[in-house]
Amino acid sequence: MNPTITSDGTMLDLPALAARFAAAAHTLYPEGEANVTFEPPRRAEHGDVATNVAFGLAKVAKRKPLDIANAIIASAMEDADVRATVADATAAAGFINLRLVPQFWQRTIARVLRDGAAYGRGAPQNERISLEFGSANPTGPLVVVQGRTLSIGDTLAKTLRFAGYDVFTEWIINDAGSQMDTLARSLYARYMQLWDAAFPFPEEGYPGDYLVPIAEHIRDRDGERWRNAAEADWLTLFATLGRDEIVREQQAVAQRFGVAYDLWQSERALHDAGAIATGIERLRTYGLTYDKDGALWLRTTESGDNEDRVVVRSDGRPAYFANDVAYHYDKLQRADRVIDILGPDHHGYIARLRALADAYGRSGAIEVLIAQQITLKRGDEIVSMSKRAGQIVTLSDIIDEVGVDAARFFFVMLSIDQPLTFDLALAKEQSSDNPVFYVQYGHARIASVVRKALERDAALLDDAKRGEQLERLSEPSEIALARRLAEFGSVVAGVARTLGTHRLPKYARDVAADFHQFYSDCMILTDDREQSVARLGLALATQSVLAKALELCGISAPETM
């Protein structure tokens, strides 16, 4: 069906257009649920936007989706405002495909230029989110896995805030438990090796060289004081000194990586404040625990866990899970939702943390994302990494080698549930094969055009910023680029809805690709002043959206490259 436009109605924006098609569907099929969402079709030749609403109505209407789609189109196109917005409407394979009038996309560019850095921002959601990510043990430097969780977590925090949510970011310092004793003994061995290189290192110790400078600091401060001391005299001191220095370094690296936290929470502080004991007793009063073999257990199987979990061991010591009990209760008091981003060895935590939400009467309030494994390579060569063997590649090493921008882009460009292969050699290439270079070059290329426009005629740039002459935009690559910019708000909302941060770098790459195609097809600064103003306006709108997309990923938008 190819309707003819016969009315000068008022042009609609995309949400209003979706509402009109939903209303038409509801009128035709009132017994069905007509949810109309317009998205770009898989193939550009099908149109600008498409919806699959007909499929959802087929069972109730007892008609083929294609027939339903054609009926909805015929009904919706009776609306003068719809006809003023839609140049062409067709049904294919049950989908409703629309091609919108060029003025629709011209108006999109005007809105981008008007809103600037606020374009795509969501309305306030009145929802507070506690977002925990990073949270490495304070037993060693941040490594590549933390690079991924830091990048994803910070991108998610920035995007959720831009989408209208109140986000509180936090890092839990895992400084309670046996790992702290292991840290102390590892540090003591490094201290003793300053005098005796053959002094034995603990079999289960932390073998990296990063403890040597801390040991040297203790020697410079205390001399040989601890060489012949009993373990009971130095164990707590060495654990505390090691933890404090390592956490300081972790905080410094996070800051260098462009990540700031609202709270760094010590588990030891929770113990000292009695929060762990209080949390355990709270579970008892809820009737969710039971005693077995001298230990206290939580009924996590009722929430889908494969086994119940020990909260207090038979010797009276709180299990590690007890820390989660207290900490997540505290987080749930401060937030409507809790999101935890954990490393690849934490799959078992998903069900037990959901069980905590159930226990506290907040079913579904705790969401857990697991960042999958990372493989590092340089070209065809795999980079060996083994924490146990002391072969660690730190996040600082990655930053030194490829820079913050490339590291953050590569860490976030795949879905969190996909294993990531990070090619360090590719991340340093200055070519279109390097995705972050490709995107940043798009921004820098626009900045170069702006500089040339200023040299030619400052008033040209002023007119472009005001969105003048946009009716001159009608070339296919101009409309394709405008259509891409119109997606930004839905991309931001999609990241907030699905927690899928990989959508942002993919979108930035798509914008850059469409701009490079536009730049190739259409000379921006020509002898035709009106055309130059229009195309320069489109370039400025693209620059604004690209800069915001990169900013949400924690990546710079350079003016020159």
- 309-312 and 295-298 as β-strands: parallel, antiparallel, unpaired? antiparallel
| Helix ranges (DSSP H) in 360-403 | 395-402
In the block, residue with structure tokens 């600037």? 116
Name residues whose C-beta falls within 8 Å of residue 222's C-beta, 6 or more positions apart in sequence: none
Name residues whose C-beta falls within 8 Å of residue 453's C-beta, 6 or more positions apart in sequence: 460, 461, 464, 525, 532, 536
Percent over 90 (pLDDT), the chain: 73
Q: Identify which of 236, 197, 189, 179 has the alpha carbon closest to the alpha carbon of residue 215.
A: 189
pLDDT reported for residue 391: 64
Mean pLDDT of the chain: 92
Report all structural domains of the chain as residue ranges with CATH numbers, in order of start.
14-100 (3.30.1360.70), 107-123+432-552 (1.10.730.10), 133-273+372-421 (3.40.50.620)
40-54, 101-115, 417-431: least confidently modelled range: 40-54
pLDDT at 477 exceeding the cut of 70: yes
pLDDT band at 43 (very low <50, low <70, confident <90, very high): confident
Beta strand residue intervals within 219-259, DSSP E: none
43-57, 207-221, 298-312, 414-428: least confidently modelled range: 298-312
Mean pLDDT of 159-184: 94
Mean pLDDT of 481-502: 94
| The amino acid at 475 | E
**DSSP tag of 118:** G
Alpha-carbon distance of 159 to 490, in angstroms, equals 12
pLDDT reported for residue 4: 42
> 60-93, pLDDT tens digit by residue?
889 999 999 999 999 999 999 999 999 999 999 8
Name residues whose C-beta falls within 8 Å of residue 375's C-beta, 6 or more positions apart in sequence: 382, 419, 420, 421, 422
pLDDT reported for residue 34: 87
pLDDT at 560 exceeding the cut of 90: yes
Mean pLDDT of 138-144: 93
Task: Give the number of C-alpha atoms closer than 13 A to the C-alpha of residue 479, restricted to the C-beta side.
Answer: 16
> 192-239, pLDDT tens digit by residue?
999 999 999 999 999 888 999 999 999 999 999 999 999 999 999 999
Burial 11-28 (b: 16+ CB within 10 A, else e): bbebeebbebbbebbbeb
Higher pLDDT, 299 or 195: 195
pLDDT reported for residue 388: 53
- 309-312 and 337-342 as β-strands: parallel, antiparallel, unpaired? unpaired
pLDDT reported for residue 377: 92
pLDDT at 3 exceeding the cut of 70: no
pLDDT band at 5 (very low <50, low <70, confident <90, very high): very low
pLDDT at 476 exceeding the cut of 70: yes
Would you call 307 exposed, middle or buried from its count of C-beta atoms within 10 A (0-12, 13-18, 19+)?
Answer: exposed
pLDDT band at 6 (very low <50, low <70, confident <90, very high): very low
> 323-379, pLDDT tens digit by residue?
888 888 889 999 999 999 998 877 778 888 888 888 888 999 999 999 999 999 988
Mean pLDDT of 394-420: 96
Alpha-carbon distance of 316 to 298, in angstroms, equals 15
pLDDT reported for residue 280: 85
pLDDT at 536 exceeding the cut of 60: yes
Q: What is the pTM of this model?
A: 0.91
> 231-289, pLDDT tens digit by residue?
999 999 999 999 999 999 999 999 999 999 999 999 889 888 888 888 888 888 888 88
